[in-house]
Amino acid sequence: MTREHWGSKLGFILAAAGSAVGLGNVWKFPYLVGQNGGAVFVITYLVLALTIGAALILAELALGRAAQKDPVGTFANLRGGAWSLAGYLGVLSGFLVLTFYSVIGGWTLAYVVKMVDGSLMETGLDLTGTFNGFVSNSVEPLIYHALFMLMTVLVVLRGIGSGIERCNKFLMPALFLILVFLAVRAVTLDGAAAGVDFYLRPDFSKFSGDTLVAALSQAFFSLSIGLGILITYGSYLDRSQNIQRSTLWIIVLDTGVGIFAGLIIMPAVFAFGIEPGAGPGLTFITLPGIFQQITGGVLFGTAFFVLLLFAALTSSVSLLEVPVAYLMDELQLSRKTAVLVLGGVAFLIGIPSSLSFGVMSDMTLFGMGFMDLLDYLTTKLMIPAGGMAVCIFAGWIVWPRMQTEVSNDGTLAFPLSTIWGWVLKVVAPASIAMIMVYGFLH
Ligand code: PFF
């Protein structure tokens, strides 16, 4: 069977950016900026994304394109031996993240529905109680988790060109439009200026080791590095694409969406006198409160949760594609079988994650509920370990092959080759080791 390829350069970039732009950008990036000194955090984040982030994105794309295989096949083909384990690590982490990402994706879907049917707009509604009541329920979030997984499955079933690429070509531009629409509304609210000021004015006294670690872990998660997604997406590319340029685009689009999301959230939060460091509850509790108070709130609120839903869907699609590519390439399963089996199992494993906010909340291990545990295991351990494997493999084991790959066999100039080598070989592994140790200690 010939391998499927992306239909166009733009389609590939939108799909890769679609994977990167997700809940992490809209929900987490703005409050990290708020808590870590505003512009200081944005600048730190940008520097890390453009150095370590870029080095890893480029390495993953080059590895996948060189091997034309899923992550397991990529490591096995290019070197083999114990290195194949790094591929398995990627496939497994992608799959595990999918199981709980879909639960949260389900929440966003539920909030779209609740916005449209007006149930979030009743005056005097206790929004904290509403949110906690919803997530701790045993049935309702599971229905939305099932629906969200079903949407993911339907896209991935149709394959690369007519499934993943087509859905991103529609959802990503729609997402950009909604983002601009909401940002214009937010910055023109009375009292918004203080929010913009707080969000972007640098406060150097807030810069610390913690800032650096927070920015680096966020860069990994947000750019979808370390679990073989970009290896997989790169394997559907041919040599006509300039992957140096694609790397830059992925970073610019991902960071741009994060910054814009903050320009929606912070001015609104300030205009309504809410504590900006509110953290995780901001999206599902604070924002609906604001939508209740502005004219046209239903419209803006719905637009916001649709934005979040699109962002989540384009990411979950990429998460499912990694293990699907593995089953297709290595075990010769058909796409249909692979997608249905993996989607079904991921749904089942997601059930205890969802219930860990309700009936299973007392069942903890190391003090964490099921979803927190999976989140910890993947984002703090498996993803950094996967990133480490990619740097060492690309930087030390198959380095000459990487250079021919990135320069399209020497036909493309690659002025940053030496710097890339240093970052991959030394700077990135050292920084990853640092976030892993830090993750253990906290
Ligand atoms: N990058 C996505 C986000 O910021 O929400 C999440 C994600 C998607 C992480 C895919 C990892 C991944 F492989």
Percent helix, strand and coil across the chain, each rounded to 5? 80, 0, 20
State if residue 229 touches ligand 1 by the CB under 6 angstroms criterion: yes
> 286 or 133, which is more confident?
133
Residue 278 has pLDDT above 80, yes or no: no
pLDDT for 32 equals 87
How high does pLDDT run on average in the chain?
93
Instruction: Give the nearest ligand 1 atom to 94 CA.
Output: 13
CB burial of 234-260 (b: ≥16 within 10 Å; e: otherwise) equals bbbbeeebbbbebbbbbbebbbebbbb
Residue 267 has pLDDT above 90, yes or no: no
Chain centroid offset of residue 338 CA: 23
Distance between start and end Cα atoms, the chain: 48
Q: Answer yes or no: are the C-beta atoms of 370 and 380 closer than 8 Å.
A: no
Q: Answer yes or no: are the C-beta atoms of 21 and 175 closer than 8 Å.
A: yes
Residue with CA closest to ligand 1 atom 7: 224
Show the domains of the chain with their CATH numbers. Answer: 9-441 (1.10.4160.10)
Looking up tokens 């879909």 gives: 102
**Most confident stretch, 120-124, 187-191, 248-252:** 248-252
d(CA 170, CA 168): 5
d(CA 367, CA 365): 5
pLDDT for 22 equals 95
State if residue 265 touches ligand 1 by the CB under 6 angstroms criterion: no
DSSP 93-109: HHHHHHHHHHHHHHHHH
Tell me the average pLDDT across 327-356.
98
State if residue 102 touches ligand 1 by the CB under 6 angstroms criterion: no
Q: Which two tokens stand for residue 252?
A: 């610019």
Tell me the average pLDDT across 96-104.
97
Q: Identify which of 19, 23, 45 to mutate to test ligand 1's pocket (most ligand atoms within 8 A of the CB).
A: 19
> At residue 386, what is the residue type?
G
pLDDT for 287 equals 84
By three-state DSSP, how is residue 368 classified? strand
Lowest mean pLDDT among 255-264, 286-295, 338-347, 407-416: 286-295
Angle at 8 between CA 418 and CA 228, to 5 degrees: 55
For residue 277, name the pLDDT band (cuts at 50, 70, 90).
Answer: low
pLDDT for 441 equals 79
Q: Which two tokens stand for residue 247?
A: 């790397």
Lowest mean pLDDT among 55-59, 154-158, 198-202, 391-395: 198-202
Task: Say what the pTM is.
Answer: 0.95
Looking up tokens 């080095």 gives: 55
pLDDT for 166 equals 96
d(CA 87, CA 285): 39
Tell me the average pLDDT across 172-192.
92
Q: Answer yes or no: are the C-beta atoms of 377 and 227 closer than 8 Å.
A: no
